[in-house]
Amino acid sequence: MIRVLDPTTAIVRPKQEIGDTVYVSDRILVRADQLWAPDARVTDVLKRLGLGLRPPKRYRDEKDDRDYRPIPRRPERSKDLGLESQQVVGLELVVIDPAGAPAPDAWTVLQQIRSQAPDVAGAFELVHVMFATAGNGELSGVGKGGSHVPGIGKGGSHVPGIGLGPDEFGVPGYGGKAPVAVVMADPSQSAPRLQRPPVVVMPDTGIGDHPWFPDEAVVGINAAPSLGVKIVGDPVADRGTGVTSRLTGEFDRLAGHGTFIAGLVRQTAPSARLQSHAIMGSDGLAAEDDILELLQDLLDDQVTALASNDASSIIDVLTLSFGCYHEDLADEDSEPSGLTASNFAAILRDIGKVGILVVAGAGNDATTRPFLPAAFAGDITTGGGGLPLVSVGSLNPNQSKVSLFSNSGDWVTAYRHGAAIISTLPRRQNASSQASADVDGIATLPEDQQLKVNKGEAPRPRDRATIDLDDYDSGFGVWSGTSFSAPVLAGQLARAIGDLGSEATDLGSLHQRGWDALARVLRPRRVLR
């Protein structure tokens, strides 16, 4: 169950100041040091609240929900690499005696643990809800009262040209999602074939039906004329219709989001291998514990590939187009120094240490409030012996001005195109909106010509219409958001890595090549060393 934490009504400890956030109320993040042998004080807190903890659904028996397998321990991470993050699992909060007991609330549990066991409280966190950083209207039912819920278009009527500010970018013709026609061929058809193409990983809504992206499992890893893509996860949201309601036929707000991101990477790095992980629904929501589990998998896989010299499994760039606002407030004009000890920050630091460049969208709310994980760039920039996290804001098409919706702050590292940008969308997505005018082709003819057509004596003329604004059979569209600035930069980094020579995959080469790619791509802006 999703809840909005409201600072005006939430339970707070003395002198504690919090901001609003969105979280999963019946799950809590637990770090490894408290996962298998929790502190007795924590157990007492749960008992007093009438609650227990159980493993997530993937560890439970399908036939008997009460029977579950132990959570496996992750392999010991190499101390030689300086890795510090621990395994983190989102455990479910369950009511032990359901008779008259209130629904579990992770915030109440967390506050009690902080009061009763402050020395171990850092091992427990809320499971935040992550939102995709693309704009297409407000998320229905969440964050209506000024809460920080990402997404362009939180105002009133979408009437162009009357000073809507950031909302204007959600209007078709002003940067809002709309279909377009594109005549260029898939860039990978003419791109150089590299001995080891750089690998770009994109956790998002997956990739839908599009001729640019044949499934690697079907066509082979080095398919011609187009490079195949690796798609991991089930279900893959972008393979669906994207329609959120059978009754209204409306699109989910982020339908096609992952496919759009993949197209931007393909345009900027046509020789790169794309790896898509379906971690988000077409509503643009993902739970933090699911994202952390994927990041832990990617980290462990990279460590294994480095140890075994498996060049084919090495990852070069990771692009993240989602985030959240944390309840623990930080100075809006600086990095979130109080949040850098979080599990999310720790895993991203370790990912940088194993030679993966991480890029994250800065958010779309025209605020300086740190948007995570992008705002971790202020912490994961220097020291630690790894590659930095780069946060990316959005530029307007003229490149001279920052998009009005784009978040800002010292933690925003770079800016790239993100407003009214064109990319790929799943071809099968077509929702309920219709063209404003639609004329049967035969009706355009005089009556005598219509008779000839009906008799088969003359060809039938094409039907005529205005543009159907939610028919994406063309396979392309225009959209806006820092969701798209991030993969533009990620693709530029991947291309630079390929140009520098991506064959060597020892850790030293990954680090040096990563820094060299940053120097090429971010010039003349500062290099984050």
Residues in the chain with pLDDT < 70?
Answer: 61-68, 98-100, 135-165, 217-226, 330-341, 378-384, 524-529
Q: What is the DSSP string of 156-176?
A: S---TTS--GGGGGGSBTTTB
Integer Cα distance of 279 and 452 in angstroms: 55
Report the alpha-carbon distance of residue 9 to residue 426 in Å, rounded: 42
Q: In 3D, which of 186, 512, 150 has the Cα closest to residue 360? A: 150
**Contact assessment for residue 391 and residue 374, using Cβ atoms and an 8 Å cutoff:** yes
The helix/strand/coil state of 200 is strand
pLDDT of residue 441: 85
Specify the amino acid at residue 399. Q
- Cβ of 420: how many Cβ atoms within 10 Å? 18
Read off the pLDDT of residues 59-112 as tens digits, 9 standing for 90 and up: 876 666 666 677 888 888 777 888 989 999 999 999 987 666 778 999 999 999
Is the preceding omega at residue 235 within 30 degrees of 0, hence cis? yes
Domains for the chain: give ranges and CATH numbers.
2-132 (no CATH), 165-324+334-425+474-522 (3.40.50.200), 441-471 (no CATH)
Give residue 181's pLDDT: 94
Q: Tokens standing for 336?
A: 């979130």
- Convert the pLDDT of each residue in 24-71 to its tens digit: 999 999 999 999 889 999 999 999 999 999 888 888 766 666 666 778
Tokens 């990279």 belong to residue: 302
Q: What is the pLDDT of residue 381?
A: 59
Structure tokens at 139: 């998320």
pLDDT at 60: 72
How many Cβ atoms from other residues are within 10 Å of residue 125's Cβ? 25
Distance between CA atoms of 470 and 434, rounded to whole angstroms?
Answer: 8
pLDDT for 154? 44
Question: What local confidence, expressed as pLDDT, does residue 126 receive?
Answer: 96
Nearest C-alpha neighbor of 2 from the set 320, 288, 258, 250? 288
Q: Strand 464-465 and strand 438-439: pairing?
A: antiparallel
Contact residues for 487 (Cβ-Cβ < 8 A; gap 6+):
200, 202, 261, 262, 264, 265, 268, 319, 321, 359
> At 134, is the secondary structure helix, strand, or coil?
coil
Q: How far is CA 26 from the centre of its chain?
A: 22
SS3 (DSSP) at 478: strand
Q: What is the DSSP string of 340-366?
A: TTSHHHHHHHHHHHTT-EEEEE--SSS
What b-and-e string marks burial along 434-465, b requiring 16 or more CB atoms within 10 Å of the CB? Answer: eeeeeeeeeeeeeeeebeeeeeeeeeebeeee
- Give the angle 216-392-358 at the CA atoms, nearest 5°: 50
382 Cβ contact list (under 8 Å, min separation 6): 388, 528, 529
Alpha-carbon span 62 to 296, nearest angstrom: 25
Rama region for 374: left / alpha / beta (φ>0; ψ in -120 to 50; rest): alpha
Cis peptide before 524 (omega within 30 of 0): yes
Q: For the chain, how long is the longest CA-to-CA vector?
A: 90
Instruction: For 195-281, list the strands marked E by DSSP.
Output: 199-204, 229-232, 273-278
The model's pTM: 0.90
Query: Residue 347: is it exposed, middle or buried by C-beta count within 10 angstroms (0-12/13-18/19+)?
Result: buried
What 3-state DSSP class applies to 20? coil
The predicted pLDDT at position 276 comes to 97
